[in-house]
Amino acid sequence: MSAGTAAAGQVEHMLRQVTPGRYDAYEALLRALATPSSGRVWMLLWQGQAGSPDAQYGTMEVDGHGYAPCVTSAQELSASGWNRSYEVVDGLEVARALYPDRYGLWLNPHAPGGGVGIPWLDLRRIAGGLDQQPAGPLRLSEPAIEIPQFYALLAQNAHRTPAVRALRRAWVQPALGAPYLAIGLDVYDTSPPAVESVRAMMRQSLSAVPDGLPVSTVAMADAHDPVAMWLRVNARPFYDREAHAQAPATGYGYPPAHRL
């Protein structure tokens, strides 16, 4: 068996296990695609030849989302009836190319049942490391857990950290794995000293977190992070330096009393 055939066999084996609700099987498919030795796919080129500057992947739209179609082996390429050029590449390379433009990858769209689509958010996980980001689809909500001491300490430490503009929060339930509290970090400065000051702020604040409660952070400036996207739309800051600066020092918002 050639290396290419073995690679295709791994992806195709995992693909056959994927059924609705089987997130474990879907994660195994993502892992196969993310592994250079087993993640090779045959990308269908709409124009140009493999390796040429004018080569363009094909595109398809499903439920309003864009995908690039591919097949998982030379046998599937033949079965698809595709009569234009194709390019054999690692899934990791494809993920890095597609996700910034918010394109997913669709495996074997010609197959009975229509194949399997991998949304761009999961291609981002492949590109950045599957273990570095939570498995989707994510369920996001306002945190219901009451931990006012932590939020107060975090806001106090944020006020002492000039790089921090604002803080938001969300409760994140991944498709696989434990739920956790996410803190959205909106910062003015991303220089190494500023980043280290924000890390120190979080370390100093975590002492007020109850034992066993996982806490993670997310950069609000990340245009491709699903938690950051949800926070921008749905969560008001629980700390906002600029709003704090505009608040009156005294009087609780009432106009000053007129002197007689």
- Taking only the tens place, the pLDDT of each residue in 157-203 is 999 999 999 999 999 999 989 999 999 999 999 999 999 999 999 99
Non-local (6+) Cβ contacts of 127 within 8 A are 92, 95, 96, 99
Angle between helices 23-34 and 3-17 (to 10 degrees): 160
- Taking only the tens place, the pLDDT of each residue in 199-216 is 999 999 999 999 999 999
- Taking only the tens place, the pLDDT of each residue in 42-65 is 999 998 888 888 889 999 999 999
Q: What is the pLDDT of residue 250?
A: 45
Cα separation, 138 vs 174, whole angstroms: 5
pLDDT for 260 beyond 50: no
Q: What is the pLDDT of residue 245?
A: 62
User: In 84-142, which ranges are E strands?
Assistant: 86-90, 104-107, 116-118, 139-141
Q: What is the pLDDT of residue 220?
A: 97
pLDDT for 129 beyond 50: yes
Can you tell me the mean pLDDT for 106-129?
94
Q: What is the pLDDT of residue 2?
A: 43
Domains delineated in the chain: 3-132 (3.40.1350.90), 139-246 (3.30.460)
Q: Is 169 in contact with 183 (CB distance < 8 Å)? A: yes
pLDDT for 34 beyond 60: yes
Whole-structure pTM value: 0.81
Q: What is the DSSP letter of 22?
A: -
Of 8-12, 136-140, 217-221, the poorest mean pLDDT is in: 8-12
Q: What is the pLDDT of residue 54?
A: 86
